[in-house]
Structure 1
Amino acid sequence: MSKLSSSQERELREAFEIFDKDGSNSISSKELRDVFRALEINASESQVQAAMKQMDRNGDGEISFSEFKRVMEVQFYRKYTNDEIRCIFDHFDRDNSGFITADELREALSKIGKTFRNEEIERMIKAIDKDNDGRISINEFVELLK
C-alpha cells in the first residue's frame, strides 16, 4: 500500500514521464543514462546498470512506473541535509543569483530531453513560489524538500 498522497503520486508520474523520453511507459537504461548525464552525474556504465538492477524488480530491462514509484516513494519521506539541499539548489541556480528562475528551470528540464510550454514552467514555479515573486528562493526550495 502506497504512503503517497494523490498529489505526490501525480508529481512522481510527471517526473517519470520526463525521464521516459520515448513515451514507452518505461525507462530504459539509455534513458536512465541520459538522466544521469543531464543531472551532471558522472556514472559509469556499470553504475547505470547497477541502478537499473536496483529499480527493475521484474528483470525485464526496463523500469515501469510501479518500479520507479517503489524506489522514489522513499524520497518523499527522506530528510535531506542542508548541504544536500544547497547542492541541489545550486545545480538549478546557474547564475548564482540565489533564486531559481523560470529560464533556469526550463534549461535544467531541457537537459533531460523535455520541453515545456511557458505556462507549464510558470505553473511549476508558482506551485513552489510562496512570496509570489516569480522565482524560487532557497527557503522556498527547502520547504519543497523538507
Structure 2
Amino acid sequence: MAKELTDEHVALLKMMFTEFDQDLDDKLDASDFARAVRTVCVSIGQPITENGSKAIAQEYSDGTGLFGFDKFIAVITAKMVQAYTTVEMRKIYRGMDRDAKGFITVDEMRQNFGDRLTEDEIQEAFQNCTDGKFKFDDFYKLMNPFKN
C-alpha cells in the first residue's frame, strides 16, 4: 500500500489489538477480531455494524479461525484510507470554516479540536502555516494519519 501508518499509530493499534488478545498469544479468534475492528472503526469515525465486522473477519480469514496483528493492520489501514479521503476531509473542513472564508481561525480550531489537541499543538499547527492562516492543505497535513 502506498500509504503507511506512522510508528505512533502502529503502537496505538498494537495496544488496542492487545486489549482483545486475552491469552496474549498475538492472535484473536474471529469474534474478538470482529469486536476489535468494530471498536477501532468507531474511534476513527467509520462505524460499522456487528454484521459488517463479522463479514470483514470472514473476508480476511485464512481458515484457521485466528487473526494476527498483520491482518488487523490491513483492515484498519483500509478503513482509515476511506475515512481520510480528500473528499471526506474537505467536508469536515468546510464544517469548521462556517463563514467560507477559506481558512480556520485559532478560535475555530480550539472550538473544534480543543478536546483532542493541546493548546501547544494548536499553536504549533498555526506556526506551520505558510501564511499564518490555517487552510485546507494545512488541515489535511495535520489530520491525515499517513505519511506522504
Task: Give TM class, smaller chain.
Answer: 0.3 to 0.5
Larger RCO: 1 or 2 (CA < 8 Å, sep 6+): 2
Which has the larger Rg? 2
Q: What's the TM-score once normalised by structure 2's chain length?
A: 0.47
